[in-house]
A and B are shown apart, each in its own frame.
Chain A
Amino acid sequence: MALDLFKEKGTPVERQSFTWKDMVRRPYSKMDDDAFTRTRVILMNGIEADALRMKHIFARLNLELRPHLALVRRAEHHQQTLVNWLTPPDQKVIETTLGFEQLAIEVTASVALHEPDPYLAQTYRFGMLEDFDHLYRYSALYDRLEGQDPNNITQSYTDIIPGRPTVVEHRHPLDDLRRPYDCKTADPLSKLHAMTITASEFQTHDYYMTVGPTFTDPVARQLYAEIASIEEQHVTQYGSLMDPGESLLEKWMLHEAMEVYNYYSCLAYESNPRIKEIWQRFVDYELGHLHYVMELFKNLEKRDPAEVLPRTLPEPIAFKEHREFVRKVLSQEVDMRSDGMDYVDKSQLPPDHRTLAYQAQLNSEGSPSETAAAGYTWRPGTELAAKAQRMGSVLEGRRLQ
């Protein structure tokens, strides 16, 4: 049964407590847990990071809200810690990166399929094809740097093939802005979607900016720099879908509802009982935050939360493979480009278009994403498996059999 946001009060903020031992728990298993457990941990870390980010910005802008923001923010911070620390330490940075891109593909696909507004849905499909390409580029890097198989991480849920090539994803900043939804008429689900995907992309950007320079390989350093730039574009794109006409409290309340929705979606799909219990706890914590903000909304803004919030939560985000949908979008929309806020076929961009000039300049000393994946075809067991099979276990007359 759908969760009633008005009836379910969750855990009150003052009863949300943590210890260091509670926050630093046994992580999931990189090899035994489902790939979607990894993507859920990545997503919820991103959602909580955005909860903190937004609250800090609001605190700079509004003195009256500052103490309320501080109270809720501290709980969010500790929630983020608990979630992010579920990441197993044997999961290498590049493996977590593959998880980030798999998450971006599958969650954006689910959002694109459920988005009621056609323009917003098109925006999600547009961005999804780019993250889809990033998975392929990072997979090639993982295979060629470590000699390891990216499918060990993605577990056959997601295709590892080129999408819209990263080399052509670089756009002039003004071609990354989108038309926002109208907060008065938009479906509440559209608002939750925009906040979810923006949060997720923001964390992806921040992660790549943090870990990129930890690589020694120059192509890895370049590739993280290049894809971080696209993630910055994606944050620009998805962030601009949100209506700037919403008040701070309205945005805060929606963000809390979005957090409930995301934990609730994780809960619906989680296969690891230890982690499922965390999603349940945090659904309750987020309901506590939501009701705290609903009271502020009533008292300070003198408005009824029901004007903004849906009564019940929509169908959960689907943590499952979307290969058929992604392949269809890829075949139909890979050549879409953006011209200002509109989507056009690449043939419609004039040769002197600002984005083409921007792209040519950035790529003028080479393209890391093209270099990393030059001639790359993913095969089970890495691209070396085919080579090894051709060669066989025979060498210089020393037959190893």
Chain B
Amino acid sequence: MSKDTVADVGMNRTGIKTSPVDSKDIIAQAEKARPSSPGDAQAIADVRKQYMRESGDGLGRVPPPSSLKGVAKTAVDMLKGGKPTVFIDKLGERLAFERSGVRLYEGALSKLDVFGSWEGGPSRELLTKILDDELSHFALLMEAMEKLGADPTAMTPSADLTSVISMGVPAAISDARTNLRQTMQALLVAELTDNASWEVLIDLARGLGHDSLADRFQLALDAEAEHLALVKGWYAAGVSTEARAPMDSASMPAQP
């Protein structure tokens, strides 16, 4: 049977106090030994800098417009002195994030089925609503990219980067050993960055004169702000419910 509680007392071996005798011995040995090379962590930073200077085109580039209309729009924007690919890159990033978001909420629904919710926790209806919102935002971004003559199926460098940054989120949610409260913690990371990123995208759209797009993006941000408030609330309620729960007596250490 799955456990829907976390942080029960048990045999965790990671701390230094688990092994008083051995730890004393290895600490003494570590203090006696001398490093084979002088310096500090700056040595790693120096090599990083060297590689940064040689990193060429970075992660990759933004694909050229995929339609004649796109070519024309790009040319107009360039004449205005802008770099239209930045907008395409960031649209691709939001698109990828919203699409992946659908999979995250699918994962949350599975956790709900197995572990159930708690007072002040998520309901199936609200999780499904957020999932549908993510899907509709994905649709909105596909539409926006197509209108600008960009290819919405391309992985732009920012889309790639955002997926590297958030790799841990789907990993935490799909782990069979995490429960719905822990899933909320992962979703909080996603929703926080999502909100901030929509804000950046809206500013960028306005700055480039795409006002009608920016207005539509604002509606998406409004929905995302609700998601963030909900997830944060569910998470907080979950943690405090957990803290009030009776200690799992089966996992209490035996009294001496």
Chain A positions near chain B (C-beta within 8 angstroms): 26, 29-32, 88, 90, 92, 144-149, 151-152, 215-218, 220, 380-382, 384-385, 387-389, 391-396, 398, 400-401
Complex partner residue of A385 from B54, B142, B155, CB under 8 angstroms = B142
Query: What range describes how many residues of B lie at the interface?
Result: 35 or more
Q: Is the CB of B60 within 8 A of A29?
A: yes
Q: Is the CB of A151 within 8 A of B61?
A: no
The contact string, 1 if C-beta is below 8 Å from chain A, for chain B 158-196, is 001101100100111011100000000000000000000
* Shortest distance from the beta carbon of B19 to any chain A beta carbon, whole Å: 27
Q: Is the CB of A90 within 8 A of B142?
A: no
| Cβ–Cβ < 8 Å partners of A400 in chain B | 136-137, 140, 216, 219-220
3 closest A-B pairs by beta carbon, nearest first, are A31-B60, A217-B174, A147-B100
Q: Is the CB of B223 within 8 A of A395?
A: yes
CB pairs A–B below 8 angstroms (7 shown): A31-B156, A32-B60, A149-B153, A152-B155, A217-B175, A384-B102, A392-B136
Q: Is the CB of B142 within 8 A of A388?
A: yes
Q: Which residue of A lies closest to B106 (CB)?
A: A144
Bound CA span A204–B137, Å:
38
Q: Which residue of B lies closest to A385 (CB)?
A: B142
A30-B138 contact, Cβ under 8 Å, with A145-B170, A147-B101, A382-B99: no
Bound CA span A384–B100, Å:
10
Q: Is the CB of A384 within 8 A of B135?
A: yes
Bound CA span A144–B160, Å:
17
A26-B56 contact, Cβ under 8 Å, with A90-B160, A145-B103, A384-B138: yes
How many contacts between A and B, using CB within 8 angstroms?
A: 115
| Cβ–Cβ < 8 Å partners of B170 in chain A | 145-146
Q: Is the CB of B219 within 8 A of A31?
A: no
Complex partner residue of B153 from A144, A145, A151, A391, CB under 8 angstroms = A151
* Shortest distance from the beta carbon of A281 to any chain B beta carbon, whole Å: 18
Q: Which residue of A lies closest to B140 (CB)?
A: A393
Q: Is the CB of B59 within 8 A of A90?
A: yes
| Cβ–Cβ < 8 Å partners of A152 in chain B | 153-155
| Cβ–Cβ < 8 Å partners of B51 in chain A | 26
| Cβ–Cβ < 8 Å partners of A384 in chain B | 99, 102, 135, 138
Q: Is the CB of A145 within 8 A of B174?
A: yes
Complex partner residue of B99 from A31, A147, A215, A217, CB under 8 angstroms = A147
Interface of A is mostly: loop
B40 at the interface (CB under 8 A from A): no
B55 at the interface (CB under 8 A from A): yes
A31-B163 contact, Cβ under 8 Å, with A147-B99, A149-B153, A216-B172: no
Q: Is the CB of B96 within 8 A of A148?
A: yes
Bound CA span A215–B59, Å:
24
B25 at the interface (CB under 8 A from A): no
B152 at the interface (CB under 8 A from A): yes
* Shortest distance from the beta carbon of B226 to any chain A beta carbon, whole Å: 11
B22 at the interface (CB under 8 A from A): no
The contact string, 1 if C-beta is below 8 Å from chain A, for chain B 211-255, is 000001001100100000000000000000000000000000000
The contact string, 1 if C-beta is below 8 Å from chain A, for chain B 128-145, is 010011011111101100
Bound CA span A339–B252, Å:
57
A220-B174 contact, Cβ under 8 Å, with A90-B59, A381-B153, A391-B136: yes
Q: Which residue of A lies closest to B144 (CB)?
A: A393
| Cβ–Cβ < 8 Å partners of A398 in chain B | 219, 223
Q: Which residue of A lies closest to B175 (CB)?
A: A216
The contact string, 1 if C-beta is below 8 Å from chain A, for chain B 114-137, is 000000000000000100110111
B residues 53-106 touching A (CB-CB < 8 Å): 54-57, 59-61, 96, 99-103
| Cβ–Cβ < 8 Å partners of B176 in chain A | 216, 218
Bound CA span A217–B169, Å:
12
Bound CA span A151–B133, Å:
25
Bound CA span A30–B60, Å:
7
Q: Which residue of B lies closest to A144 (CB)?
A: B103
Bound CA span A219–B154, Å:
27
Bound CA span A151–B154, Å:
9
Q: Is the CB of A92 within 8 A of B167?
A: yes
Bound CA span A394–B157, Å:
28
* Shortest distance from the beta carbon of A179 to any chain B beta carbon, whole Å: 44
Bound CA span A396–B138, Å:
16
Q: Is the CB of A387 within 8 A of B223?
A: no
A216-B59 contact, Cβ under 8 Å, with A90-B160, A146-B163, A400-B220: no
Q: Is the CB of A146 within 8 A of B54?
A: no
Bound CA span A26–B55, Å:
6
* Shortest distance from the beta carbon of B151 to any chain A beta carbon, whole Å: 9
* Shortest distance from the beta carbon of B127 to any chain A beta carbon, whole Å: 15
Bound CA span A216–B96, Å:
21
Bound CA span A92–B164, Å:
8
Other 13 A-B pairs with CB < 8 A, given A31-B157, A395-B136: A32-B60, A92-B167, A146-B163, A152-B153, A152-B154, A152-B155, A216-B172, A217-B174, A382-B99, A391-B139, A392-B136, A393-B137, A400-B216
